[in-house]
Copies of this chain bind each other. A is one copy, B any other.
Amino acid sequence: MASSGRTFQAPKGTRDFYPAEMAVRRHLESVWRSVSINHGFEEIDGPTFEHLDLYTAKSGPGIINELFSFRRAGGDDDYALRPEFTPTLARMVAARAGELPKPIRWFCMPMFFRAERPQRGRLREFQQWNVDVIGDDSPRAEAEVIAVAVGVLERLGLTSKDITIKLSHRELIGDALRDSEVAESNLVAAMNLLDRREKLEPAQFTEQSGAVGLNLDDFNARAAKVAERINGAIAARESDSPRQAASPGSPPPSGQAIDHVLALIDHLADARILQWCEFDLSIVRGLAYYTGTVFEIHEATGKERAIAGGGRYDKLIELFGGPSMPAVGFAMGDVVIGLVLQDKGLLKPALEYLPRPDAFVIAATDGAAGHVNAIVADLRRTGMHVRYSTKSTRNVGKLLGDAAKVRARHAVILGDELKDGIVRIKNLDGGEQSDMPLSDLAVAIRRSHATTE
């Protein structure tokens, strides 16, 4: 019968997850979750929408255009779909800061929303994995969140050849800006400008640099000195040689922030993940709340947007009404990592992520057909994944084809022997088949399952 209704589309920038796409999504989620748990993080979640001022409090009213915001009909509270998790996290920590054991190690992986123009790597609704350590100001906490990110990348099949983790530090960026004569009052504006460098036309960038007193060449020269010092330390740790002696000439950059980054490098080396990392002071991270170490994870050749990004935000819990608590975390969205995995051939055909049936029950005779329901129900009750055909055909070959199509491990064939309580079981991976009493069926499938896996 022809369609008589009107057709509807999903909103732009959102996705329908049919079974194959959903299976890939669940694969990514299960890697995120199991690696997070193995690294000692506990899962949380918050509301899908928050009071609008939770977002404007931190980022100012300018963020409103990037939000989906709304009111309830007849209500007078303004809400917004969450664009990121950190404000919710800060609110949740602030609400129970006294009673939560420290350091707090949390992860989550819900959906987020941005009212932007959809483009490659950026959707209006996306899933994002967030990992945070709260209450530990040591570089160890930074190494821990970087380690769980590497754990996920490794489990997805990526290596340090495919990926670069670019470390940076907000204070060191600030120092280099100050040293290149940017006024204290222009520091935040200059950092935001550096963050948007790639998105601006050269002429725009030059004009805006002038406005904040930024001499890019001077800044770059100073940033390069810092990077040289720290990348030297990375190379030394990687080659297991002692730390490089200071090169002759001007003394190397030094200070608390440098010492912090050098200690972070020791932690990363201990965890055997330093080979994924390099220091790059051009990484700024746009969000205003970062205070110390920041980092981004990129595909090594620079293709695609950042796979993940994060850093230290030591002032934020306090801003949301909690005590002063140091914090570090990062987020990885599902879209860019999906593009990278696809590009590198690290995703199997989507159907292979679908759960395989343990058994597919086939009626070979009309007499047997009346018993399918009960046998299927009994097998399912033992915790097995069982399917059957609703077709009226008794052509066993055809029905075995249906069983193979859904990648069933076994076919259970009900024929005339059923009146004597006998069924046939066929292993669809190995091909062998045997007859057995119906009462042995569940155990036989389970045992065969154990040997084939």
Interchain CB contact under 8 A, B323 and A1: yes
- The 5 A-B pairs of least Cβ separation, nearest first, read A70-B70, A7-B321, A14-B47, A19-B42, A1-B324
| CB neighbours of A53 from chain B (8 A) | 8
The smallest beta-carbon distance between A109 and chain B, in angstroms, is 11
| CB neighbours of A387 from chain B (8 A) | 40
| CB neighbours of A81 from chain B (8 A) | 48-49, 81
Question: Is A23 positioned at the interface, with any CB of B under 8 Å from its CB?
Answer: yes
Question: Would you mind naming 12 contact pairs between A and B with Cβ atoms under 8 Å apart?
Answer: A5-B94, A11-B51, A14-B46, A16-B44, A34-B383, A38-B386, A48-B48, A70-B70, A136-B390, A151-B380, A270-B377, A272-B377
Interchain CB contact under 8 A, A322 and B5: yes
Interchain CB contact under 8 A, B4 and A318: yes
Interchain CB contact under 8 A, A5 and B270: no
The smallest beta-carbon distance between A111 and chain B, in angstroms, is 6
> A residues 1-49 with Cβ under 8 Å of B?
1-12, 14-19, 22-23, 25-26, 34, 37-40, 42-49
Interchain CB contact under 8 A, B140 and A390: yes
CA–CA, A9 and B5, complex, Å? 43
| CB neighbours of A73 from chain B (8 A) | 64-65, 67, 69, 115
With A19-B43, A92-B16 already in contact, the answer to whether A373 and B267 are too (CB < 8 A) is: yes
| CB neighbours of A111 from chain B (8 A) | 48
CA–CA, A92 and B103, complex, Å? 44
Q: Which B residue sits closest to A45, measured CB to CB?
A: B17
> A residues 39-80 with Cβ under 8 Å of B?
39-40, 42-51, 53-54, 57, 64-65, 67-70, 72-75, 77, 79
Question: Is A237 positioned at the interface, with any CB of B under 8 Å from its CB?
Answer: no
Interchain CB contact under 8 A, A68 and B45: no
CA–CA, A371 and B271, complex, Å? 10
CA–CA, A154 and B380, complex, Å? 12
The smallest beta-carbon distance between A11 and chain B, in angstroms, is 6
With A5-B318, A11-B77 already in contact, the answer to whether A95 and B16 are too (CB < 8 A) is: yes
CA–CA, A183 and B374, complex, Å? 43
Question: Is A219 positioned at the interface, with any CB of B under 8 Å from its CB?
Answer: no
Interchain CB contact under 8 A, B377 and A6: no
With A9-B51, A42-B19, A70-B70 already in contact, the answer to whether A147 and B271 are too (CB < 8 A) is: no
The smallest beta-carbon distance between A183 and chain B, in angstroms, is 27
The smallest beta-carbon distance between A274 and chain B, in angstroms, is 11
Question: Is A106 positioned at the interface, with any CB of B under 8 Å from its CB?
Answer: yes
With A42-B354, A92-B18, A318-B4 already in contact, the answer to whether A10 and B50 are too (CB < 8 A) is: yes
CA–CA, A380 and B152, complex, Å? 11
| CB neighbours of A320 from chain B (8 A) | 5-8
Question: Is A339 positioned at the interface, with any CB of B under 8 Å from its CB?
Answer: no
Q: Mark A245-272, 1 if CB is under 8 A from B, else 0.
A: 0000000000000000000000100111
| CB neighbours of A338 from chain B (8 A) | none
Question: Is A199 positioned at the interface, with any CB of B under 8 Å from its CB?
Answer: no
Interchain CB contact under 8 A, A44 and B22: yes
Using A18-B96, A140-B390 as known contacts, list a sample of 10 further A-B pairs with CB atoms less than 8 Å apart, ordered by residue number in A: A11-B51, A11-B77, A19-B43, A23-B43, A42-B354, A49-B113, A68-B79, A72-B115, A271-B377, A272-B378
Interchain CB contact under 8 A, B40 and A386: yes
| CB neighbours of A5 from chain B (8 A) | 94, 318-322
Instruction: Return the contact of A47 from the options B10, B374, B386 (Cβ within 8 A).
Output: B10
